[in-house]
Every structure is written in structure tokens, then in C-alpha cells.
Amino acid sequence: MTNNTVYLNGHYLPLSDAKISVMDRGFLFGDGIYEVIPSYFGRFFHFEAHMERLDNSLAAIRLANPNSHKKWLKILSPLLIGTQDQYVYLQITRGTAPKRDHGFPENTVPTVFAMGSPIVPMAERDTGVKVLTMPDSRWKLCNTKAITLLANILHRQEAIDQNCAEALLVKDGYVTEGAASNVFAVIDGVLMTPPKSAEILPGITRDVILDLAREHGIPCKEESFSLTALQTASEIWITSSTREIIPVVECDEQKVGDGKPGPIWHKMNQLFQTYKQSLA
């Protein structure tokens, strides 16, 4: 079941009726931020963490949050239908200005748009995906969830063109993250993921995985690793709210481990699914 009702600037309406001005700063400049909040069994997953990241993204682009966290919950909840796994996409732009000018317009009201969509589990989640590494061409504020995603889109498409599911980005010889995911690697038996910095988006799924690893005695480290170290990894995973934890079985046409999802992925995926159910 797909939810055809969306939220736009205070109103719930059919998607086909949701219209904004071509003078919207999001359309003209990509001047806005977004969040993607998953929901399982009819309840948002780590809603507060997503709200905190929303606060940080808004602060980074110097836009006041138009709503409290409690008000957001009230606005976004009607976009969920039933108890199927779904996610809400929320976008806030600086709004519609009378003219196209780079400087912030005065007294504009932000444009707020939100829609719900079903989470369709990735067909390859249990068998693994292929990835391609490439130089990270993005800007220096990757910890801001900006709607300006052109570099990410070009990276992802380059991977798709090579029959890969994701691009793994490399900056100064070190792996940062995926075009739309965080990255984990098991190197010398330790689960590693790059530390939080302006070079990566602080993924909510990433935090949950680190908490589960620590709680269940899986050795893990938040530490940068080089592309050379990645090539020695026995397991590689990519993680995000809409895809969860996806094992990588081939990187740059080389098998990862024995070319099958590894034992630590099996364990973590099980812990993650159990954790999701425990919050239901």
C-alpha cells in the first residue's frame, strides 16, 4: 500500500495537488535540508536522533526550525499507514523569494514538504552487493543533510553504470562513506567505521550498529581506514535507514572475504532485526 497523501506547508493533500513556486530556493539553489525517518511496526525508529540531526542540519544552513520535535511527530505521524515498514521523507527549504539572489531573502517562510513511502527490502540484502570505489568529489559539509545532492547522484550513477549498487568514496586515500550510506569494514577481526567528522553524514543506522556491537561484545572501532586496508577487509557493509545493513561481496571486481555475506554481518543483521522488534 502506498500513501498518496503528502504534507505541504500545513496541509495534507494528494501528491498530484502538491505544488510549489519555481522561485522556491530549494528549486533554484538546492537551498534546503532533509531527513529520512524509518518506521517499523507503525512506530518511528529513533525519532529523537533524527530530530537532533535535523536541528544540526538547519543550524548549519542558518534556518530556524519551524517546529518543535513534538510538533514534528504530530505532523509526520499521519503520513504513516498501517504497520508496514515505511519511511517519511521530510524536506525544508528556505522558501520562496521574490527574486533569484544568492543572499538570504528577508522574511521568507520555509517550505515544508513531507511524504511517506513503503520500505521495500533490497532484494540482494541476504546475498550481498557489488560496490565501486572512487574519489570523493563532494563538498566540505558532508555532515549536513543538504538536498544539494548532485555529487552523490553522479557517484551513485557511476556505480550503477558499472553494475554496482553503491559507490564507496575515498578522500586522501581514506574511505569516507557511500554515496547514500555509511560504510563498515571488518579489518583484522575488528569492525571499523570512519569517525564522525564533516566528511561523513552521521548516520542513525551507524550509531545503532555501534551500540549493538558494544553491547554484544563485537570488537569495534570508530577509526578511519585507507583504501589499501579496505582491500584486506574480510567483510564490508553499507548502512542506511532505508536499506539497513547490506553486505558487500565484491569491491572493485575483487571478492570480499569468500564472496559471501560474512559471519559478523549475519550476527549484526540478526541483532538489528531483534532490536527493531523490541521497540515495536
Stretch that binds ligand PMP, among 1-9, 63-71, 74-82, 239-247 (CB under 6 A): 239-247
Q: Using alpha carbons, list the distances in angstroms from residue 125 to 84, 115, 165, 191, 247.
A: 18, 25, 11, 19, 7
Marked catalytic residue, from 74, 130, 145, 276 = 145
Phi-psi region of 128 (alpha: psi -120 to 50; beta: other; left: phi over 0): left
Q: Is 145 a catalytic residue?
A: yes
Please identify which residue in 3, 193, 241, 269 interacts with ligand PMP, judged by CB under 6 A: 241
Is 201 near ligand PMP (CB under 6 A)?
Answer: yes
For residue 279, the one-letter residue type is L
String of DSSP letters for 55-67: HHHHHHTT---SS
**93 vs 193 by CB, closer to ligand PMP:** 193
Stretch that binds ligand PMP, among 9-17, 22-30, 177-185, 189-197 (CB under 6 A): 177-185
Is 180 near ligand PMP (CB under 6 A)?
Answer: yes
Phi-psi region of 258 (alpha: psi -120 to 50; beta: other; left: phi over 0): alpha
The least CB distance from residue 203 to ligand PMP, in Å, is 3
Is 203 near ligand PMP (CB under 6 A)?
Answer: yes
What's the N-to-C CA distance of the chain in angstroms? 20
Please identify which residue in 57, 181, 193, 269 interacts with ligand PMP, judged by CB under 6 A: 181
**203 vs 257 by CB, closer to ligand PMP:** 203
Segment 100 to 129, residues that bind ligand PMP, using CB under 6 A: none
Segment 126 to 155, residues that bind ligand PMP, using CB under 6 A: none
The least CB distance from residue 220 to ligand PMP, in Å, is 16
Is 240 near ligand PMP (CB under 6 A)?
Answer: yes
Please identify which residue in 3, 205, 224, 269 interacts with ligand PMP, judged by CB under 6 A: 205
Q: In this structure, what C-alpha cell is assigned to residue 49? A: 536522533
Interior CA angle at 186 toward 180 and 188, to 5°? Answer: 150
CB 245 within 8 A of CB 124: no
Nearest to 253 by CA among 164, 180, 179: 164
5 DSSP β-pair partners: 14
Count of positions (residues) in the chain: 280
112 DSSP β-pair partners: 92
Is 204 near ligand PMP (CB under 6 A)?
Answer: yes
Segment 5 to 64, residues that bind ligand PMP, using CB under 6 A: 36
The H or E element that residue 255 is part of is: strand 254-255
Residue nearest to ligand PMP (CB): 203
Interface ranges with ligand PMP (CB under 6 A): 36, 177, 180-182, 201, 203-206, 239-241
Active site residues: 145
